[in-house]
Structure 1
């Protein structure tokens, strides 16, 4: 199974990356915004993300308890509430050897490996972020103390980006410009992640802008280990603002990674900060929007004219409170076209309930989302086909 699922969670982010290699499917969860109103279909206007995860994740026996759900990797792009909501309730924290039947009955998912930036581990702005930070520090301390348990599933960590405060020498550490193909102690041959950010270094807690230091990465699929091109490229940008995007663009091009590794190319882009204007410029300018040239240049790294932008946000209206910003949607549509812009809140509906957009990865690229039976037609998409055409595939971005 090679697919990426983007869940409709309002103004927030939750995605599930899945890739099969040597008969094992690696599951990577990116952020969580699991709202209590969505559980058990209490609110028909909310999709039950937790139930979907429990159906999708691998299971194993833990401490004699069978059928325990687990994720190979949980990536927290940054600690804002709409990216970490539900972490305390739905993900297990603590020594994995103490996971009990009570934890399983509560549907607690084990995160075997946590990826995060220590730059956002200062003062927590919400309870779930506080709990996440506590769990991250528990794992960090195991590694600092060289505990024999530090590499048990459920204790593993990876530090992403440069650090301003923590003394993390000796820990697994991935920095911008690095390609990662090892996930949860498994080396993968057809999937990798290119790390783009965060870059900032030497910051104090008061100076850290959590949106500005979001983890930004490119998820890269190959159809086989020997292929010289990628069958699908997904860009995850967290809540990165236009300044962070400009730095990514500059350094990726300057270090040759745009051409050598196709590190800026994308077939599917998750619009940063829930289709906020901050991707294009400062919010104060929304009444007279002038997008930064670097932001438009980043968008024009799309590989084909059929590349998709996913807006993980509430319905977009020019008359509603921002974000999402209607002016931002206008700029995305100028580049990719109306039919290739998808708002998760409205793109696929089953009755009153928005449905996730699921991209199957094929030899010709990510397959366009298709509405399941009994579901309204996908907004902006016609039937089942691939985003990219195979001839000339991987030749470079569309200008």
Structure 2
């Protein structure tokens, strides 16, 4: 089977389902608002769309093989308690029929933020933190974990707090291909962030958006082990992208992508220190941050998981950021896509086969449906 990624219409938020060629699934962030759950709500019913794409195990439980939370802001974790089972897998209830998370992938920053008055966790993020602690404690007690109790801790914490985690700790610049305790050759993931603070003064800044998990995710298809590369960065801001470029500019392939999910919902704050609303066209782009985000491969697509991008003072999404991304991908024959563009409620879908990734979003145009390929190449609708 081909690998696919589904980018749900959640406005200024993130929610992406990765379906590997092996059949395993990785969910990256969620934003399932109350309005999306209401039958008469205007928001897309992304929970139903997600559930329709998932499988059930032998016990009848819907599941994702892994759930990656880039960082614990509400627009990345909203709906967790209503739609996902938390607690021991044995406690799953058929009557509630919530989705089982086989393997949690989480940054240790969730624990520090849970104890900070300056960055209070929303209820869903607090529930994630509680479940993450349960799974870490389970591993510490038994030295192993089974499906529904597993967790990967992405990145080291300060003061050696994660030193004893052994097999469940993924350090920055490490590459892994395991999911729910099994090796899976249809993907590899290289952890690029969260980066540790450069000094004590930077710690407070990095405790929020700039502590986002940043991953280069490589999908295999057929005989092609690198059929598609995704760069995912949560809400990482300009300071982090500048540091990543300084760190990797001699080996920029670790930042290369076919698909970039534009950080922070196509925010100018990932590309510049200047305020867009205050300085508008006088705002200056950071050359280092732009370079980090400019490692586009031929035909690359930048995806904005955001509201429609308009020429106004909003940030995110920001029209100036969109223009920068268009300028990045145009020379390589790529394109920029906003998930909220187009008619209907259907998500944007990218399918990857041996020839690489192709956009397959069906959207109502006039009386017909259409589908497009990455870059300028079109797919026949089928």
Identify the TM-score tier after normalising by the shorter chain.
Answer: 0.7 to 0.9
How far apart, CA to CA, are the structure 2 residues paired with 1:386 and 1:212?
Answer: 30
Classify 1:69/1:215 alpha carbon distance in 2 versus 1 (closer, same or farther; 3 Å).
same
How far apart, CA to CA, are the structure 1 residues paired with 2:257 and 2:213?
Answer: 16
**1:37 paired residue among 35, 38, 44:** 35
Partner deviation per Cα, 1:304-337 (whole Å, 9 max, x = no partner)? 1x31111111122223533212221121122224
Question: Does structure 1 residue 385 correspond to structure 2 residue 373?
Answer: yes
Classify 1:239/1:94 alpha carbon distance in 2 versus 1 (closer, same or farther; 3 Å).
same
> Could you say which structure has the higher helix fraction?
2
Question: Does structure 1 residue 217 correspond to structure 2 residue 215?
Answer: yes
How far apart, CA to CA, are the structure 1 residues paired with 2:163 and 2:52?
Answer: 36
Deviation at 1:384, TM superposition (A): 4.0
Does the CA-based 8 Å contact 1:289-1:327 persist in structure 2?
no
**1:71 paired residue among 64, 69, 72:** 64
Classify 1:316/1:120 alpha carbon distance in 2 versus 1 (closer, same or farther; 3 Å).
same
How many residues were matched structurally?
359
Question: Does structure 1 residue 121 correspond to structure 2 residue 114?
Answer: no
How far apart, CA to CA, are the structure 1 residues paired with 2:204 and 2:270?
Answer: 23
Classify 1:362/1:313 alpha carbon distance in 2 versus 1 (closer, same or farther; 3 Å).
same
**1:159 paired residue among 153, 157, 178:** 153
Residue in 1 that maps onto 2:100: 110
Residue in 1 that maps onto 2:365: 376
How far apart, CA to CA, are the structure 2 residues paired with 1:142 and 1:135?
Answer: 11
Does the CA-based 8 Å contact 2:273-2:286 persist in structure 1?
no
Residue in 2 that maps onto 1:169: 164
Deviation at 1:40, TM superposition (A): 5.6
Partner deviation per Cα, 1:335-393 (whole Å, 9 max, x = no partner)? 224981111111x322xx3x211000022210123425xx238xxx984435499xxxx
Does the CA-based 8 Å contact 2:177-2:187 persist in structure 1?
yes
Does the CA-based 8 Å contact 1:300-1:335 persist in structure 2?
yes
Q: TM-score, normalization: structure 2? A: 0.87
Does the CA-based 8 Å contact 1:181-1:191 persist in structure 2?
yes
How far apart, CA to CA, are the structure 2 residues paired with 1:339 and 1:300?
Answer: 12
Residue in 2 that maps onto 1:392: none
Residue in 1 that maps onto 2:82: 89
* Structure 1: runs of 5 or more not aligned: 390-399
Deviation at 1:223, TM superposition (A): 2.7
Does the CA-based 8 Å contact 1:6-1:356 persist in structure 2?
yes
How far apart, CA to CA, are the structure 2 residues paired with 1:208 and 1:300?
Answer: 23
Residue in 1 that maps onto 2:57: 60
Residue in 2 that maps onto 1:12: 13
Counterpart secondary structure, 1:38? helix
Deviation at 1:170, TM superposition (A): 2.8
Question: Does structure 1 residue 191 correspond to structure 2 residue 187?
Answer: yes
Counterpart secondary structure, 2:351? strand
How far apart, CA to CA, are the structure 2 residues paired with 1:222 and 1:90?
Answer: 30
Counterpart secondary structure, 1:222? strand
Classify 1:366/1:322 alpha carbon distance in 2 versus 1 (closer, same or farther; 3 Å).
same
**2:287 paired residue among 287, 293, 296:** 293
Residue in 2 that maps onto 1:397: none
Deviation at 1:243, TM superposition (A): 1.3
**2:240 paired residue among 240, 244, 247:** 244
Deviation at 1:129, TM superposition (A): 0.8
Counterpart secondary structure, 2:275? helix
Classify 1:41/1:234 alpha carbon distance in 2 versus 1 (closer, same or farther; 3 Å).
farther
Counterpart secondary structure, 1:152? coil
Residue in 1 that maps onto 2:335: 340
Deviating more after overlay: 172-181 vs 244-253: 244-253
Deviation at 1:103, TM superposition (A): 2.7
Classify 1:357/1:89 alpha carbon distance in 2 versus 1 (closer, same or farther; 3 Å).
same
Counterpart secondary structure, 2:245? helix
How far apart, CA to CA, are the structure 2 residues paired with 1:51 and 1:169?
Answer: 39
Partner deviation per Cα, 1:253-307 (whole Å, 9 max, x = no partner)? 45x4x4xxx3211111111001111111125355122111112212331011x31
**1:367 paired residue among 320, 341, 358:** 358
Residue in 2 that maps onto 1:265: 256
**2:44 paired residue among 30, 44, 47:** 47
Q: Over aligned residues, Cα RMSD in angstroms?
A: 2.5
Question: Does structure 1 residue 284 correspond to structure 2 residue 280?
Answer: no
Classify 1:119/1:164 alpha carbon distance in 2 versus 1 (closer, same or farther; 3 Å).
farther
Residue in 2 that maps onto 1:326: 319
Classify 1:232/1:206 alpha carbon distance in 2 versus 1 (closer, same or farther; 3 Å).
closer
Does the CA-based 8 Å contact 2:334-2:376 persist in structure 1?
no
Does the CA-based 8 Å contact 1:364-1:388 persist in structure 2?
no
